[in-house]
Structure 1
Amino acid sequence: MQGSRALRDARAVLKEVFGYAKFRPYQGEAVARVCEGKSVLVVLPTGGGKSLVYQVPALVREGCALVFSPLISLMRDQVDQLRAAGVRAAYYNSTLTSAERAAVYAQALRGELDLLYIAPEGFFTDQFQEVLGQLRIALVAVDEAHCISEWGHEFRPEYRQLRSLRARFPDVPIVACTATATAPVRADIVQQLGVPDMEVFVGSFERENLTLQIVTKQDVVAQVAEMLTCHRDESAIVYAATRKAVEHLAEALQEKGFSALPYHAGMDAVTRDAHQRAFANDEVLCMVATVAFGMGIDKSNVRTVIHANLPKSIEGYYQEVGRAGRDGLPSTCIAFVSNGDIATQQYLIDQAESVDERARAQQQLAHVVRFVRNLECRHAAILRYFGEERGDWTCGNRCDACCTDQITERDMTEEVQKVLSAVARIERTGFPVGVGKLTQVLAGSAAQEVERFQHLSTFGVLQGKTKSAIREMIGVSIDRGFLQQETGTYPVLRLGAGAPAVLRGETRVVVRVRHTPEAASGAEAAQDAALFDLLRHWRAAEAKRSSVPPYVICSDAVLRALATYLPLTREDLLRIPGIGAVRAERFGSAVLDVLQQYVREHGLSSRMPPTASVMTSSKTRSHVSRSAARGSDTVAATIALHQEGKSVAEIASHRALNPRTIVTHLAEGFRDGRIASDDLRRFVPQDREHVIRDAFDRVGSSVALNPVKQLLPIDYSYDDLHFVRAVMERERDGGGHQ
């Protein structure tokens, strides 16, 4: 089919069948290639429109499109949506009766199907092959194509059978789609499918509407409940590591009054299907599930994704958080992690029989541990992992590492030197140890299992530090390559290649850490406990008046923060994690009365940090209105300095914040009208603004910035794009020019 005509036909199908006026970045080019009979690999984020790359050409080209899909529920959901749009689609899998399978065959043979979804194992049956020989195939699509690669995070051996597709259909375009493929996985997909000339389209991996948070796990049930309370009337997925954990967490949430159901492979198919449909239909708001859940639904309004355990891989984490906010609206993703999670995953890796499988899993674990431990921009870390380089770009305020200025740099060289010295001396004894025993040695434990090391000069060298702090130092040493953790049954530690330079003082070890106020003294701790009890009594009385459980008013974590920091003004109250504008409006006066009276009676003063909030991000509280979000202390402070005529660099220096964060604050000011549109000229010349507006008009202002940046001269910065887009969004929302 001629290229220009094919693209015209594709655009007509896009509008008439699917209701979209134009293709997203990379969609149009990929669709045009497929319509022309070319094979493509498309890597787009979850919710980025991968399916349209084969669905649209299936309606343009003659014949029936075969779509390979890994999950029955995924097939059914796709077919239901296509049928709702008037597309002739069906699926063929093990859930069909003999009569239903015969009906699908008959439809296909009569030319009444545009798309037929099938699992790889069903495709190679003699019965299906007999029917296939009588069909005209328009194209072959391989959904979730990363499943064909052993280096992918969800390798499925049955997908390897698909390497015969090229020989079976030598003149038919093959479309491979995935949301999570690193460069090596992409290369492996192309090789496994046997299509060396397959054109590869890779979109941006940035999900601009997601706020990502990594939080230390303490009481995970209470922490999950608190998160769900903040998003009470919104859909949420909670991922747990095991079936047992899923059942326990779902039951605990139900007991707390949440609309929650479990989902895992150990449940009978009827119950599992009923739970999935209830969630998809908004009959239940929270699904507690193992990680496979979510691949089979296209639910666009999931507002919250929670990981109750450490994700197994960056790819898995990215795919799972990608199930939030598929409609493009702000959504929150939070992972509760602990050292215990890491140890559990290490144990499971060690049980694997295949050496190659252990090596892959070990590498994936190392990447995800580095991701959660390093206090760097979460979005930037993900982009870098998938090979999308943006220099020193950060998200500004869409992750826990960027939306707080409570992070400082700390020199840990001396502590790491002590860790490495201990390992060196232990190695010389001929009895190397793992993380657990090394922690005991450094802490000077009296445990019998480390008695043999008591004669070492480094025994107890970190005595006085908590075990958690010592484990953190060991973790930093592993992450930086100063220590190597062997794979196998006994993951012992040995000095890494970078260790000598640290021990000689040639390499400094500087890490980013969260700054928290110094621990309270014994007297202060006792006062905190007394105040905590007072606050609990206040909460109980308020809950009784409101006829709700106490945790609905606020969590224990919020009460402890109040007792620790002693906020005495409404502004400080809003800086406490878990207290948004709505809670402050409802309960702020009563809480402040309790705190102010307690402070007066005990001669205390506020212990709030002198700078911006402990955790401030309007996007993490999507239930708070835009007008409430305007009260954000940290954004307002930035805007005030801007209005004094200060530059981005001057504001960043004045506030001790990253310039990227300042840009994000100013963009928010342009977007909500606190900064006049005319001020744009301070940052972007008029001629440059026109060029950027044209680029956004071509690509769309709701997409990631990278595709727009690619259309512009190299000297145009991401800051320019942030500011212009903010003004355009204000105009689009009815703010107009000021």
Structure 2
Amino acid sequence: MSPETLLKTELWGDFILSSEVYRERVCLIAIDEAHVLESWGDTFRPTFARLGELRSHFPDVPYLLLTGTCTPQVLQHMTAKIHLPRLKLFTASPDRPEIYLEYKRSKDIFGEVGWLFNEIKTKGIRTRKTLIYVRSLSRGGNLYRDILGYLRQHAYLEEQRGFHNSHIALYHAGMTDKDLDYILKEFTKPESVIRLVICTIAFGLGINIPDIEVVIHWGACDSIMDYWQEVGRAGRDGRKAKALYYVTPGSLLQASDNMKELCKMMDKSQVKCFRESVLKHFIGHSSAPLAPECHSQCAECECLRCRCCNLCSATCPCHTQ
């Protein structure tokens, strides 16, 4: 159940705390996506910060905290909130090697991802499923309007204009539950009418659409944690995917210090591998050297360098000859 269901309803005080079954038989308290204790607990969903109250009511029950992305700072924050004096830490690399990464400064989305809009025009419902993340509702609304205006009749199935015939959807927390449910149910279908979703961070926890092939960030992410969480929406079924990160003018103003530093290093060409510069912030990651050279000598190279990121790809002999 959600923290709100547990701690902000009659279920908590009137049932669980007065129930012998709960007091005597609870054998595990599991918190999934535990990193939100740090990123949401003080602002967006403050009930997450109250999960530590469970320790006083179930002092001998073990806790299991699960997350796909954890930095040393997040770990410190989580364990302080829940108070875990006998913490056992089990880690694995958060890397998603099937996702190709690219970083770039830009201000012209039609110049950068015109290939996507041309694909919608020519392929319709065969277009690769794509997410475009924006950092605010206003930016998302403006982008949604501009893309619909650019595509015109091509934005719709068989030119039948309307919400349920559009290849483009806007997804944010301010929409009605009915519209959000429609977008999620439709986009989950392999042959979905919707091929591109412009979304805020609301398209996140609890959403699992396996066949998304492209994730585009239009504007800097608030943090490296947010960036990697959103990159992970792509290629969940194991297929090759792409994550394209475009830092737009002014978008770094509200970003965290670690994101500002990463982008600064990228802009000054002080980074050899974009993937490595992101993953080094997470617990569980250990650097592995890329293949020293490529032997295929072809234009469509699939070596480890070319599959990593735009910086590594540029060093492959196939691209430097």
TM-score (norm 1): 0.35
1:386: which partner in 2?
Answer: 282
The alpha carbon displacement at 1:142 in A equals: 1.0
Contact 1:151 1:184 in 2 (8 A): no
Contact 2:31 2:65 in 1 (8 A): yes
1:301: which partner in 2?
Answer: 211
What is the SS of the residue equivalent to 1:208? coil
**1:205 & 1:265 partners in 2: Cα distance?**
27
Larger gyration radius, structure 1 or structure 2:
1
Q: State yes or no: 1:248 paired with 2:142.
A: yes
2:258: which partner in 1?
Answer: 364
Amino acid aligned to 2:232: G
1:334: which partner in 2?
Answer: 244
Amino acid aligned to 2:55: R
2:172: which partner in 1?
Answer: 264
Going from structure 1 to structure 2, the CA distance change for 1:182 and 1:297 (only over 3 Å counts) comes to: same
Higher relative contact order (CA 8 A, sep 6+): 2
Amino acid aligned to 1:239: Y
Contact 1:238 1:286 in 2 (8 A): yes
Going from structure 1 to structure 2, the CA distance change for 1:362 and 1:327 (only over 3 Å counts) comes to: closer
Q: State yes or no: 1:130 paired with 2:130.
A: no
The alpha carbon displacement at 1:230 in A equals: 5.5
**2:212 & 2:43 partners in 1: Cα distance?**
23
2:299: which partner in 1?
Answer: none
Going from structure 1 to structure 2, the CA distance change for 1:201 and 1:153 (only over 3 Å counts) comes to: farther
The alpha carbon displacement at 1:162 in A equals: 0.5
1:217-260 superposed Cα distances (whole Å, 9 cap, x missing partner): 14213433423546852211111122122122223333412411
Q: State yes or no: 1:142 paired with 2:40.
A: no
What is the SS of the residue equivalent to 2:221? coil
TM-score (norm 2): 0.76
What is the SS of the residue equivalent to 1:178? coil
Show the 5 A alignment for 1:58-137: 117-120=1-4, 122-132=6-16, 133=19, 134-135=21-22, 136-137=25-26
Going from structure 1 to structure 2, the CA distance change for 1:365 and 1:209 (only over 3 Å counts) comes to: closer
1:90-142 superposed Cα distances (whole Å, 9 cap, x missing partner): xxxxxxxxxxxxxxxxxxxxxxxxxxx23336434334332222444342111
1:10-59 superposed Cα distances (whole Å, 9 cap, x missing partner): xxxxxxxxxxxxxxxxxxxxxxxxxxxxxxxxxxxxxxxxxxxxxxxxxx
**1:202 & 1:152 partners in 2: Cα distance?**
23
1:619-666 superposed Cα distances (whole Å, 9 cap, x missing partner): xxxxxxxxxxxxxxx7xxxxxxxxxxxxxxxxxxxx7xxxxxxxxxxx
Q: State yes or no: 1:280 paired with 2:188.
A: yes
What RMSD, in angstroms, separates the aligned Cα atoms of the two structures? 2.9
What is the SS of the residue equivalent to 2:235? coil
The alpha carbon displacement at 1:392 in A equals: 5.6
**2:264 & 2:56 partners in 1: Cα distance?**
42
Going from structure 1 to structure 2, the CA distance change for 1:201 and 1:367 (only over 3 Å counts) comes to: farther
The alpha carbon displacement at 1:147 in A equals: 1.7
**1:367 & 1:183 partners in 2: Cα distance?**
17
Going from structure 1 to structure 2, the CA distance change for 1:176 and 1:141 (only over 3 Å counts) comes to: same
Going from structure 1 to structure 2, the CA distance change for 1:317 and 1:223 (only over 3 Å counts) comes to: same
Contact 1:211 1:399 in 2 (8 A): yes
Amino acid aligned to 2:207: I
The alpha carbon displacement at 1:199 in A equals: 1.3
The alpha carbon displacement at 1:372 in A equals: 4.2
The alpha carbon displacement at 1:366 in A equals: 2.4
Larger fraction in helix? 1
1:219: which partner in 2?
Answer: 108
1:347-370 superposed Cα distances (whole Å, 9 cap, x missing partner): xx4xxxxxxxxxxx5423423423
Show the 5 A alignment for 1:153-192: 156-192=45-81
What is the SS of the residue equivalent to 1:149? helix
1:588-647 superposed Cα distances (whole Å, 9 cap, x missing partner): xxxxxxxxxxxxxxxxxxxxxxx854xxxxxxxxxxxxxxxxxxxx7xxxxxxxxxxxxx
What is the SS of the residue equivalent to 2:245? strand
Going from structure 1 to structure 2, the CA distance change for 1:170 and 1:221 (only over 3 Å counts) comes to: same
Q: Percent identical across equivalent pairs? A: 26
Going from structure 1 to structure 2, the CA distance change for 1:153 and 1:125 (only over 3 Å counts) comes to: closer
2:87: which partner in 1?
Answer: 198
1:543-583 superposed Cα distances (whole Å, 9 cap, x missing partner): xxxxxxxxxxxxxxxxxxxxxxxxxxxxxxxxxxxxxxxxx
What is the SS of the residue equivalent to 1:302? coil
What is the SS of the residue equivalent to 1:287? strand
What is the SS of the residue equivalent to 1:324? coil
Amino acid aligned to 1:400: N
Structure 1: give runs of 5+ residues left out of the alignment: 1-116, 350-360, 407-610, 614-633, 635-654, 656-738
Q: Find 2:224's aligned residue among 306, 314, 334.
A: 314
Contact 1:314 1:367 in 2 (8 A): no
1:402: which partner in 2?
Answer: 312
2:273: which partner in 1?
Answer: 377
Q: How many residues align?
A: 279
Contact 2:41 2:47 in 1 (8 A): no
Contact 1:278 1:284 in 2 (8 A): yes
Decide which moves more: 238-247 or 228-237. 228-237
What is the SS of the residue equivalent to 1:214? strand
Structure 2: give runs of 5+ residues left out of the alignment: 121-125, 156-166, 292-303
1:85: which partner in 2?
Answer: none
**2:134 & 2:266 partners in 1: Cα distance?**
17
**2:114 & 2:204 partners in 1: Cα distance?**
21
**1:146 & 1:245 partners in 2: Cα distance?**
26
Decide which moves more: 235-244 or 224-233. 224-233
**2:227 & 2:42 partners in 1: Cα distance?**
10
Contact 2:218 2:248 in 1 (8 A): no
What is the SS of the residue equivalent to 2:222? coil
